[in-house]
Amino acid sequence: MLEVRRIAGALGAEVHGVDLSAPLAPGTVAEIRRALLDHLVIFFRDQDLTPAQFLAFAGSMGKPVEYPFVKGLPDYPEIIQVMKLEHERTNFGGIWHTDTAYLEVPPMGSMLLAREVPPVGGDTLFANQHLAYETLSSGMRHLLDGLTGVNSSAKADVTRTREDRMRSDGRDDARREYVAEHPVVRTHPETGRKALYVNVAHTVRFRDMTEEESAPLLGYLFQHQVRPEFTCRFQWAVGSIAFWDNRCTLHNPVNDYHGYRRVMHRITLAGERPR
């Protein structure tokens, strides 16, 4: 039996009692998936995995897919290196977001495995988008239920967080911009709960509205959806893994460790078209 320990009131739990370097029994896979659905983001400690073992664990949870902008490891194209070096000032993905909402079929989830961490700092924040939706007024929920968001990979704040990795590890076949339209409120395909599905990194406007017309409401939602009571914070150590449900969470890696190296391996799992 796994031991699942909550780390915050809104979301997040550490999972103990499992060695992810070994093949997992079907019952253990089901327990881990249940913990993910219950807590939205789950964490594992002291997992000294090779890339092959990390990919095998990810494969037991879903279908690993390649990231559109950055090349993966030479022998493991589904694993990208998320890195900030000592001289760099901007961190990869350093803004509140849900992964690749600009794709027609965004991922179900993502995993990070810590390889090198700074002595202090470099934590990651997560936010529960079920709570973000459910705490809105009934009138606001009714308004949002009928809206569609336009999401782009080319918003300036998020493109800046990719610049260092694009220079060193950019994919030759990456498009200049990816754009996708998704419901502002999506229904989780496994639990049936509704979640707010916009984010400051990718959502540009509402369909059939200009950016200027959309800005006041989007601005309110961007602030509301990351209220402290919706969040948890994870402190990394080498061998730590985070596995989050990309359909109902946002995350934000805190950029507070200038002068130190932070290296993570990331795997993205295939999802379904938001509904």
90: tokens are 């901007």
Domain limits of the chain?
3-269
| Residues 58/126, Cβ–Cβ less than 8 Å | no
One of 3.40.50.300, 1.10.3720.10, 3.40.50.10190, 3.60.130.10 is the CATH number of 3-269, namely 3.60.130.10
Catalytic residues: 97, 99, 251, 266
Q: Give the model confidence (pLDDT) of 204-219 as tens digits.
A: 999 999 999 999 999 9
Residue type, 246: N
Helix or strand run (H / E) with residue 151: strand 148-152
Helix or strand run (H / E) with residue 206: strand 203-206
Q: Give the model confidence (pLDDT) of 131-173 as tens digits.
A: 999 999 999 999 999 999 999 998 867 766 656 555 666 656 6
77: tokens are 């194209």
* C-alpha pair distances (Å), 16 with each of 11, 31, 33, 182: 17, 12, 14, 36
**How far apart (Å, rounded) are the C-alpha atoms in residues 231 and 163?**
28
| pTM of the complete model | 0.94
Question: Per-residue confidence of the chain (275 residues) as pLDDT tens digits?
Answer: 899 999 999 999 999 999 999 999 999 999 999 999 999 999 999 999 999 999 999 999 999 999 987 899 999 999 999 999 999 999 988 999 999 999 999 999 999 999 999 999 999 999 999 999 999 999 999 999 999 999 999 886 776 665 655 566 665 666 679 999 999 999 999 999 999 999 999 999 999 999 999 999 999 999 999 999 999 999 999 999 999 999 999 999 999 999 999 999 999 999 999 99
